[in-house]
Amino acid sequence: MGTPAFAARVLEALIAAQGRSFTLAAVVTAPDAARGRGLELAPSEVARVGARAGLPLLKPATLKGAQFVKRLGALAPDLLVVVAYGRILPQPVIDLARLTAVNLHASLLPRHRGAAPVPAAILAGDRETGVTVMRITREMDAGPILMQRATTILPDDTRATLEDRLCELGAALLVEALERIAAGTIVETPQDPSLATYTKLLSKADAVIDWSLPAQAIERMARAYDPWPVARTTLAGAPLMVYRAACEAPVLFAEPPGTVVAVEPEPVVQCGAGCLRLVEVKLAGRRKVSGAELARGRFIKAGDRLGR
């Protein structure tokens, strides 16, 4: 059960590994949705992978309908495997699995439960994150841990690069977990709820830069929100996307946060604490450029005020 590209890549790994200790009976994913510039109905990434493999596809609009529960139950599943499906499973659906229902989550639970664990790890300045295979319970991402694997968060990791690494790590871990479940050797470890932190679905509003924040926090935003929703501000009232930034050595300026205090070789912006150098940006309707190119084109100058 899954929907986006992250889940599709994990499904590919499961398809390649099936036959040793498990067989895929069907794929459950979100209904076709309007995508692309033409907003034409198109299947999810998981649906496309499942279709190529010839697997039965279930695309329920709701998981609470009797028809879906009956159809899924007819498959007599031993396991339900959930990866970034985007919906909370009702108890009647969980109960359909003869053995259990498991979830692959892109964090080291109980840290960063919820919908956006990868950006959350970068925003928090965590030194490491990882993947967790857990048994699904009624409370979101709170079930006992079956297996975990960690990876270091690199200083230049973006959401995209970190997700890519976690996807590869998670796919291998999930295959191993399924083999252990089949062999009866899996061991459950309860989560410590006192260590739990939570994330939420991201929106473009979350990515609007507050220049009164420390430079380090805004630099993390640029990496955490690439490729979506992209850290953003305004320049002369027009949208300016910030893809890469770097913290400058602390310099005291009398200018208010958001003020461009220098433009050579790249624009430098005063923050609530410290300054931020704009390394890669994008003006609305234009291609991504280096901060130096933005300055050379005289789109930005010292004294300009970013944001509101």
* CA–CA distance, 255 with 270 (Å, rounded to integer): 7
Please compute Rg for the chain using Cα positions.
22
Q: Is 184 exposed, middle or buried (0-12, 13-18, 19+ CB in 10 A)?
A: exposed
Span 254-280, pLDDT tens digits: 889 999 999 999 999 999 999 999 999
pLDDT class of 207 with cuts at 50, 70, 90: very high
* CA–CA distance, 308 with 193 (Å, rounded to integer): 39
Residue with tokens 């993390």, as numbered in its chain: 220
Distances (CA, A) of 192 to 117, 121, 151, 152: 17, 18, 21, 22
Give yes or no for residue 74 having a pLDDT over 70.
yes
Residue 199 near residue 117, CB atoms below 8 Å: yes
Give the rounded distance of the alpha carbon of 264 from its chain centre: 34
Residue 46 near residue 14, CB atoms below 8 Å: no
* CA–CA distance, 262 with 295 (Å, rounded to integer): 10
Q: Kindly state the DSSP code that residue 214 receives in the 8-state scheme.
A: B
Give yes or no for residue 252 having a pLDDT over 90.
no
- CA angle (76 as vertex; 140, 188 as ends), nearest 5: 40
For position 62, what pLDDT does the model report? 94
* CA–CA distance, 143 with 136 (Å, rounded to integer): 5
Residues contacting 254, CB < 8 A, separation 6+: none
Average pLDDT over residues 248-252: 74
For position 289, what pLDDT does the model report? 97
Number of residues that make up the chain: 308
Q: Which of 13, 30, 31 has the alpha carbon at shortest distance from 22? A: 13
Span 148-177, pLDDT tens digits: 999 999 999 999 999 999 999 999 999 999
Average pLDDT over residues 117-122: 98
Q: Which helix (H) or strand (E) is 71 found in, with range?
A: helix 66-74
Span 48-67, pLDDT tens digits: 999 999 999 999 999 998 99
- CA angle (158 as vertex; 157, 164 as ends), nearest 5: 85
Which domains, and CATH codes, for the chain?
Answer: 5-195 (3.40.50.170), 204-296 (3.10.25.10)
For position 111, what pLDDT does the model report? 98
Q: In the chain, how long is the greatest CA-to-CA distance?
A: 70
Residue 163 near residue 83, CB atoms below 8 Å: no
Span 177-192, pLDDT tens digits: 999 999 999 999 999 9
- CA angle (200 as vertex; 202, 157 as ends), nearest 5: 60
